[in-house]
């Protein structure tokens, strides 16, 4: 995920672009760059690092010109280096281009362009687009862009300037957001509304496969065949502060709602119609994968809960024994690691000190380290032998939501990939597993559509001071995660337990003042047992809120309150069950008048031991 801003104006644009791109830093921050068109030539300045650091090095605001582009990058293809930072240029430096998205056929296009004599200076898929446009350019810039985009498979939003056409800025999109801002004697393009809200509140939303020709006093939109489209201009009513949250009241809620898109982004480029391929990221030969005898997962907090679910997935599908360790305990335990042990570190921030220390300990013992990390270029990513990025985009709310579900998705992809390579999963089953994960974004959307139902339940329970969360099998870690979310943002004391363990102690706490949240989704393993556990609670006067499978008519006979989620495979059921529990915690925090984005005593990245 990257941030794009462009501007064509009557005034110097560099400082305005700089302010605008800072508003999109949440979309990516491993490098930043700017192109400005002045007196017939394009100047580009760019470097790795956060926007403020790069600006203090390259001094963006001294760039002259009344049109320009800026980009903040979240690397996908090509490492976070200065050369891979955007904007990218054609060989004559007459075209500058910024891009967000993934060009899936970039290898083929690159080979074709190299044969034609094009020289590439970066490892990015983006550079392919600019040379491709150059190869079609015969004087009509819009036409050249259309022809190039027709050759591209994948997703893109682009902004482009050409020194031969100083009066236009071109923008286009497919499966990646881009808007046009309509100002007075100046117009804009941006990945997201907050970037331009201090300059204009009037926007046009570009649709897939549309190209905009933006001038100082007009903006026309065309389809890829050059037919003009009439577009509506929308008035944005959000305040600047609200716009950063894309209209949501809190980052936590925005991030909960981003999950369908985040999951699509996490699987994009990794799954085919019937297969999963992580070979370029995992960099292990088939023989090495077959040789994995044991997996140790190290992580903290919510990431540790993802690890517990990963244990179920891996043992069940890839048939490799797994141990899940708190990273903080692992390093002080003198763990026994063999060469055939794969250590998997899970961390949203990639900077958690305990997890970092755990992988350093494992490295000393010569184990191979694979990390599942959200922040590109973070310390854990850099110190690992292999990295699988979760591609959730920056998570700003302190309580982890979208990073957690994207960790589950990556664990699932990794499991199926390893299982297919080591022969534990046969081709037919891989096909079914791919079909199941493809359903998840749509299924999460349907849960989110019923968020107000969860809010009603929150209203019934927000005054309680304790809660118990129960689950079994692969959904036991969801009970832990649901309880953690509630305590983090609402400060209600909550405990997660395996449902059957309840009778060995916590049952003593059950009465009408102790709400019991039970993950009771249907499966052919523990569902019936969970129903018995629910009845044990009811027999002691407890109040039960159950997360149930849509269409289940049995559970509701025993429980007081029902929340429904769609059916998917047992292995993917935690992804769906976690969503209403995130919403439940969020609404309870609001009702108790707490800011869910900034829970007391917590930090987003825990860099101390």
Residue spans of beta strands (DSSP E) within 239-391: 294-299, 322-326, 341-347, 368-373, 386-389
In the DSSP assignment, the letter for residue 116 is T
Stretch that binds ligand F6R, among 167-175, 294-302, 516-524, 527-535 (CB under 6 A): 294-302
Out of 76, 302, 384, 415, point to the residue binding ligand F6R (CB under 6 A): 302
Residue 246 CB, nearest approach to ligand F6R (Å): 21
Does 490 participate in binding ligand F6R (rule CB under 6 A)?
no
Q: Return the closest-CA partner of residue 450 out of 523, 550, 531, 543.
A: 550
Nearest CB to ligand F6R, comparing residues 177 and 350: 350
> Is 604 assigned a catalytic role?
yes
Residue 295 neighbours by CB under 8 Å, 6+ apart: 314, 320, 321, 322, 323, 341, 342, 343, 344
Out of 90, 349, 475, 549, point to the residue binding ligand F6R (CB under 6 A): 349
Residue 484 CB, nearest approach to ligand F6R (Å): 6
Q: Using CA atoms, how far apart are residues 348 and 395, in angstroms rounded to an integer?
A: 8
* Whether 427 contacts 434, CB under 8 Å: no
Out of 159, 301, 419, 477, point to the residue binding ligand F6R (CB under 6 A): 301
Residue in this structure with the two tokens 């917590």, named with its chain if needed: 602
Does 328 participate in binding ligand F6R (rule CB under 6 A)?
no
Residue 606 CB, nearest approach to ligand F6R (Å): 5
Q: Which of residues 352-371 bind ligand F6R (CB under 6 A)?
A: 352, 355
Does 83 participate in binding ligand F6R (rule CB under 6 A)?
no
Residue 111 neighbours by CB under 8 Å, 6+ apart: none
> Is 162 assigned a catalytic role?
no
In the DSSP assignment, the letter for residue 212 is E
Please state the φ and ψ torsions of residue 264, each to the nearest 5 degrees: -60, -45
* Measured CA distances, 590 to 184, 200, 515, 583, 586 (Å): 40, 31, 18, 11, 6
Out of 488, 495, 523, 597, point to the residue binding ligand F6R (CB under 6 A): 488
H or E element, residue 518: strand 515-519
Nearest CB to ligand F6R, comparing residues 1 and 36: 1
* Whether 377 contacts 30, CB under 8 Å: yes
Q: Which of residues 240-259 bind ligand F6R (CB under 6 A)?
A: none
Does 483 participate in binding ligand F6R (rule CB under 6 A)?
no
Residue 205 CB, nearest approach to ligand F6R (Å): 33
Does 378 participate in binding ligand F6R (rule CB under 6 A)?
no
Q: Using CA atoms, how far apart are residues 388 and 527, in angstroms rounded to an integer?
A: 33
Residue in 2, 36, 162, 300 annotated catalytic: 2
Residue 163 CB, nearest approach to ligand F6R (Å): 44
Residue 469 CB, nearest approach to ligand F6R (Å): 14
Does 347 participate in binding ligand F6R (rule CB under 6 A)?
yes
Residue 429 CB, nearest approach to ligand F6R (Å): 30
User: Which residue minimizes CB distance to ligand F6R?
Assistant: 301
Three-state SS at 367 = coil
Nearest CB to ligand F6R, comparing residues 236 and 589: 589
Residue in this structure with the two tokens 């810039």, named with its chain if needed: 141
Q: Using CA atoms, how far apart are residues 204 and 181, in angstroms rounded to an integer?
A: 7
Three-state SS at 179 = strand
Stretch that binds ligand F6R, among 112-120, 237-245, 270-278, 343-351 (CB under 6 A): 343-351
Out of 243, 314, 399, 480, point to the residue binding ligand F6R (CB under 6 A): 399
Does 325 participate in binding ligand F6R (rule CB under 6 A)?
no
Nearest CB to ligand F6R, comparing residues 7 and 327: 327
Nearest CB to ligand F6R, comparing residues 537 and 575: 575
DSSP assignment of 557-591 = GT-SEEEEE----TTTHHHHHHHHHHHHHHHHHHH
Residues touching ligand F6R, count (CB under 6 A):
15
* Whether 80 contacts 124, CB under 8 Å: no
Nearest CB to ligand F6R, comparing residues 487 and 538: 487
Three-state SS at 452 = helix
Does 300 participate in binding ligand F6R (rule CB under 6 A)?
yes
Q: Which of residues 400-459 bind ligand F6R (CB under 6 A)?
A: 400
* Whether 164 contacts 144, CB under 8 Å: no
* Whether 7 contacts 68, CB under 8 Å: yes
Q: Using CA atoms, how far apart are residues 471 and 477, in angstroms rounded to an integer?
A: 7
Out of 135, 176, 348, 415, point to the residue binding ligand F6R (CB under 6 A): 348
Q: Which residues make up the interface to ligand F6R (CB under 6 A)?
A: 300-303, 347-349, 352, 355, 399-400, 484, 488, 605-606
What is the set of active-site residues?
2, 604
């Amino acid at each position: 995920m990257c941030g794009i801003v462009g501007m064509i104006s009557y005034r110097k644009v560099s400082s305005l672009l700089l302010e605008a791109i800072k508003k999109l830093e949440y979309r990516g921050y491993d490098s930043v760059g700017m192109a400005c068109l002045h007196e017939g030539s394009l100047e580009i300045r760019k470097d790795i690092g956060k926007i403020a650091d790069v600006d203090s090095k390259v001094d963006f605001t001294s760039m002259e010109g009344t049109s320009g582009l800026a980009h903040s990058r979240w690397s996908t293809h090509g490492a976070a280096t200065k050369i891979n930072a955007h904007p990218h240029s054609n060989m004559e430096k007459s075209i500058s281009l910024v891009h967000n998205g993934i060009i899936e056929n970039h290898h083929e296009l690159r080979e074709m362009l190299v044969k034609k004599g094009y020289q590439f200076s970066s490892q990015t898929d983006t550079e392919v687009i600019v040379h491709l446009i150059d190869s079609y350019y015969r004087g009509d810039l819009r036409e050249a862009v259309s022809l190039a985009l027709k050759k591209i498979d994948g997703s893109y939003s682009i902004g482009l300037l050409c020194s031969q056409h100083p009066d236009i800025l071109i923008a286009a999109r497919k499966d990646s957001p881009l808007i046009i801002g309509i100002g007075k004697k100046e117009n804009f393009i941006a990945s997201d509304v907050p970037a331009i809200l201090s300059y204009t509140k009037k926007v046009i939303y570009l649709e897939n496969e549309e190209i905009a020709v933006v001038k100082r006093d007009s903006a026309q939109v065309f389809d890829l065949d050059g037919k003009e489209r009439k577009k509506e201009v929308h008035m944005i009513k959000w305040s600047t502060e609200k716009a950063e949250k894309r209209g949501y009241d809190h980052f936590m809620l925005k991030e909960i709602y981003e999950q369908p898109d985040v999951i699509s982004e996490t699987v994009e480029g990794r799954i085919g119609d019937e297969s999963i391929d992580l070979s370029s990221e995992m960099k292990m030969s088939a023989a090495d994968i077959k040789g994995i005898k044991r997996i140790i997962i190290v992580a903290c907090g919510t990431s540790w809960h993802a690890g517990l679910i990963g244990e179920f997935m891996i043992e069940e599908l890839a048939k490799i024994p797994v141990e899940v360790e708190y990273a903080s305990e692992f390093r002080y335990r003198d763990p026994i690691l063999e060469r055939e042990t794969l250590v998997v570190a899970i961390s949203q921030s990639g900077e958690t000190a305990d997890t970092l220390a755990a992988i350093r300990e494992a490295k000393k013992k010569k184990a191979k380290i694979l990390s599942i990390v959200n922040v590109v270029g973070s310390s854990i990513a850099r110190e690992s032998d292999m990295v699988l990025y979760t591609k959730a985009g920056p998570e700003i709310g302190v309580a982890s939501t979208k990073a957690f579900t994207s960790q589950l998705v990556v664990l699932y992809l990794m499991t199926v990939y390893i299982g297919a390579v080591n022969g534990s999963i046969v081709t037919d089953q891989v096909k079914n597993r791919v079909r199941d994960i493809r359903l998840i974004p749509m299924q999460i959307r349907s849960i989110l559509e019923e968020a107000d139902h969860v809010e009603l339940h929150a209203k019934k329970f927000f005054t309680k001071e304790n809660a118990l969360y129960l689950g079994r099998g692969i959904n036991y870690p969801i009970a832990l995660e649901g309880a953690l979310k509630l305590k983090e943002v609402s400060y209600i004391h909550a405990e997660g337990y395996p449902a059957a363990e309840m009778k060995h102690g916590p049952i003593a706490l059950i009465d009408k003042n102790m709400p019991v949240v039970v993950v009771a989704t249907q499966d052919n393993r523990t569902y019936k047992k969970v129903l018995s556990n629910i009845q044990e609670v009811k027999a002691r006067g407890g109040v039960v809120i159950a997360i149930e499978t849509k269409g289940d008519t049995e559970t509701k006979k025993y429980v007081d309150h029902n929340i429904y989620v769609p059916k998917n495979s047992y292995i993917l059921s935690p992804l769906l069950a976690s969503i209403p529990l995130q919403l439940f915690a969020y609404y309870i925090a609001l009702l108790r008048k707490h800011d869910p984005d900034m829970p007391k005593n917590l930090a987003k990245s825990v860099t101390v031991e």
